[in-house]
Chain A
């Protein structure tokens, strides 16, 4: 009896192994050619093998994250690109309740767009590199949309640089270096970065709220550094002073020792927080324990500040200013935004996005947030660039030139690219406020138009990456100071 069972188990193991092997070899047999297939990449140094697919169509791969801290946004980001192609390339999603099932029928100017695969990252550069290699080298993708997070963006930009036949539209990865330093000619980012999303906040806090001194606490990794760098550059440019910079490691749960390094509320005019994910609430709670009650007026944060913090911290958080992200808070409703959200609701019945706790919800819930929107802008850029070259991507230089020259007319503001192919965007600043019923809500207070990633020369390809000490606190002229468009009751006053 036991021998029989063991034999069955062994047989099962063997069959599984063989099936895996068959799956592995199956993918490859199509493009076996004479010579040394593995050496195809040698011809032009780092250049990869040509895609196994035939024809001139777009073979699209999307890089998301199905594991790790942003794993909950996997559905959101794929849906973002799908919506763009549904609106501008005639794509039809394969499922009405999930974007991960893919889409069919996408075509621009006679060129079909086929989704060859969805990569599954886990927020590490190593993993996303393996995923993009699978999409490009095994499945033959020639256009990539993604990735999602900061360190991944740098790795993918480097990969794009080494594989010039590829075209990459970044997803929502917010590190500065992927465009400013890597400068891959085939890597395009149609949204801002972590520093850009802090732009205008320092001007507002110094000149309107009268903050002279500020203490900064930010996650100790590329996105935290970049967010803090944008705030430092902006706040110091208009004459403010940064007294403290504290960087807790990513994934800290007990922030008390880092809070202790911050000055007391009577020693500084305010605090800027760029602590993300579950850390935001934990760090603020540690602040309440260590420094006494919160006064919302004395705090500002990057995109991780949101009304949900009030559930744990109470309504005292009201009054805090919040930096921008790719979209605007829900109180701003222009006809273009209404149209965009309605289009999302028409494309699917429900989408289990991260904002609804991965439970089915109206697609517009996910569409109104930056993760979905960043991938949407990438999809729109792909469709419009194909339109611009008449669907002909055989001349890659012409295609890339067309992408670089695009100005996208998008629901949350027009976006064009700078000379490093990174977005010049409008940043929406907001404030947590109490509504009539005493609930904390997010209200847009200003839109800063035309922010680019150089911050008037603070950041350039020759400067170090944003870090614990960089940039230094210096006064300088920023092109957007004084140009912020006030927003009252959700209506821009321009």
Chain B
């Protein structure tokens, strides 16, 4: 594709967003950057892997948060030198990073291979089972999880200042976003989308359907493992409750809020989630109508419900529709002779039901 071809309005807007995010540490408070935005980027990165699997391979995974946690636990076990918790291998920080990523990717490959023959609701259920089993593995095998979690986890020196962690999150997010988007145009990405749409036909054409799904799951595991590392550096500790069923569902909710068929939506959903979590209680008079911090989950639930009803494609769907409405008068004038493009309801096509 030519440079000119890349200069769509969407890409320009995204580039502008990245520029703003790059300049953000000079514009906003430390808390907003180091807490709100860093958490947004970490959760967005993790949610983007859900979007990747759902969008290209038609697999809605609940196991991403488990892999997120596997990376964190493995880093903690490998990097800590002493203390009462974990294996205390005392490795160099970057060796621990490599170890965590390798273990996470291998786990993702194995789990992906087992799940590769299921789709739709069955895949969802199987990954839910992974999440539950994973939680109990870490809760029961206390040698690798504490007991009661691994604490005092330090970041590598390179990422010492919190603002560098923010930039690391931004860098990985941008790379993951560009990578996932361009993957859709590669041979692997196209085959994956073929597998999503008609696995039987793809199999008869000679494609190894199970292998494609396994590799997609493994790639998603690798990326979510990077997010898991950022998270454990940001949080300083991880315990089995960190990967229990509650946080697992929250990641899916983030993807749904943003729009499960768009990569931008993952970060948008994470931003909305963190924003509501952090600032909802500061709104004036909000507690007078009964919305205190204890009602936070209710508010998130209402938001998800509203999005499901108003726009199954999430917040990005709402943005697209708003933009479409603004552009329609102009487009209608230009397109009277050829007719507009056919309306595309991707979500229905991708998540319409179970396939063999």
Contact = CB atoms under 8 A, between A and B. Distances in A.
A338 interface: no
Contacts of A181: 83-84
A38 B22 CA distance: 12
Interface string B303-336: 0001000100000001000100000000000000
Nearest to A464: B84
B113 interface: no
A465 B32 contact: no
Interface in B58-113: 83-85
B301 interface: no
Interface residues of A, number: 59
B268 to A, nearest CB: 10
Contacts of B279: 20, 23-24, 27
A151 B294 CA distance: 20
A177 interface: yes
Interface stretch (B47-55, B145-153, B199-207): B145-153
A367 interface: no
B166 A151 contact: no
Interface in B148-188: 148-149, 151-152, 160-163, 166
Interface stretch (B2-10, B124-132, B270-278, B346-354): B270-278
A124 B161 CA distance: 26
Given A6-B310, A467-B147, A137 B26 contact: no
A36 B149 CA distance: 34
B163 A42 contact: yes
Contact of B148 (A13, A29, A222): A222
B147 to A, nearest CB: 5
A20 B277 CA distance: 10
A37 B241 contact: no
Nearest to B37: A38
A158 B32 contact: no
Question: Which of A37, A133, A137 is the most central at the interface, judged by chain B CB atoms within 10 Å of its CB?
Answer: A37
A38 B151 contact: no
A126 interface: yes
Contacts of A6: 310
A71 B296 CA distance: 14
A58 B238 CA distance: 31
A310 interface: no
A159 B236 contact: yes
A14 B279 CA distance: 16
Interface in A14-45: 17, 19-21, 23-29, 31-32, 36-42, 45
Contact of B280 (A20, A31, A67): A20
Contacts of B247: 126
B36 interface: yes
Contacts of A238: none
Interface string B22-42: 001110111111111000000
Contact of B239 (A17, A23, A125): A125
A472 interface: no
Given A120-B293, A249-B139, 12 more contacts: A10-B310, A24-B278, A26-B282, A31-B29, A32-B29, A37-B33, A48-B30, A124-B242, A129-B235, A130-B277, A138-B29, A154-B148
22 contacts: A9-B310, A10-B318, A20-B275, A20-B283, A23-B283, A28-B29, A28-B31, A36-B26, A36-B163, A37-B26, A37-B33, A38-B28, A38-B32, A40-B30, A120-B294, A124-B239, A125-B151, A129-B235, A133-B35, A138-B29, A181-B84, A465-B147
Interface of B: 24-26, 28-36, 83-85, 139-140, 142, 147-149, 151-152, 160-163, 166, 235-239, 241-242, 247, 272, 275-280, 282-283, 292-294, 297, 306, 310, 318, 322
